[in-house]
Amino acid sequence: MPWRVSPQDRKQGIPPDPYRIWLSEVMLQQTTVAAVKAYFEKFTALWPTVTDLARAKDADVMAAWAGLGYYARARNLLKCARVVADEYGGVFPNDRASLQALPGIGPYTSAAIAAIAFDLPETVLDGNVERVMARIHAVETPLPTAKPELMALAQALTPQNRAGDYAQAVMDLGATICTPKNPVCGLCPWREGCAGYASGIMVELPRKLPKKTKPTRRGIAYVLRNSAGEWLLETRPDSGLLGGMLGWPGSDWSEDPTPAPPADVDWQAAGMEVRHTFTHFHLILDVMVSRSDVDPIQGDLVPHHAFRPADLPTVMRKVYDVAKHRFEQN
């Protein structure tokens, strides 16, 4: 992984870069390694240091984040970078309490940075580590109820020395050997002391409480393009879903959305719905399109050469694909 510093590098005196550790940990929140790699490499190429990121334009960072999801992370990323640059001289603090006081850094992320970047004996408990702890100790209490118990068990194993290497090793153990469905117990270095393996219940652990059924909300997205080829777009408010991201004007998202056209023109249904799933609900968007030369009552007209669909979050990109197909038909 591009953000890792190996034990061999450490022996040669190559220290971990707290900026890269922090950036990767924020990106990895509720996101897979496979999805994060390309974004991490793009960010570090554009902004090699935390000070570079702090000086970046909000719109550029939000555009670079587009498609990675959980967009509050990108807003907090900028806030945190600016605090580190302005209040700490571009150097991350090296204690957990100060790290956790930074914007967007919670208990898990502060522990991960403290352990991996500064080798402090902090306990890192992600989903992989939870699974390892539940299995080796045969913890049958379901998640999320079991989190405090699993944290206590993980803390008891955290060493005082090489805590960063240990944290990454246990996370890797969960990611590559102690996997959710098909654990490779024959290769596990902890198999002999694993109570879950001894009881034959390792695959069943950790147990989880039943998930609640996600509700479905609806909404309307409006895509307007004028004769000059300009697109009507808006920057969403900082608060709420997709905050600060570029998108199409639209209605509220609810069981019974209220139409909110951004211009008094002839709107036509695109003929296809957009479906997208967020963490807590499913969304169905009706797409309305128009080719009109008007002054909109909301949003901004963006020239075609300045509009990049890749800057849109995933759900808005789906809307664009539907609208583009309709425009091409006409």
d(CA 137, CA 193): 9
Structure tokens at 61: 């960072």
d(CA 125, CA 317): 34
The residues carrying an active-site annotation are 25
Nearest to 137 by CA among 68, 205, 41, 65: 205
d(CA 12, CA 7): 9
- If you search the block for the tokens 């800057």, which residue do you land on? 311
DSSP three-state, residue 273: strand
Contact residues for 119 (Cβ-Cβ < 8 A; gap 6+): 162, 163, 164
d(CA 130, CA 110): 17
Q: Are 111 and 123 in contact (CB under 8 A)?
A: yes
**How many CB atoms are located within 10 Å of the residue 98 CB?**
14
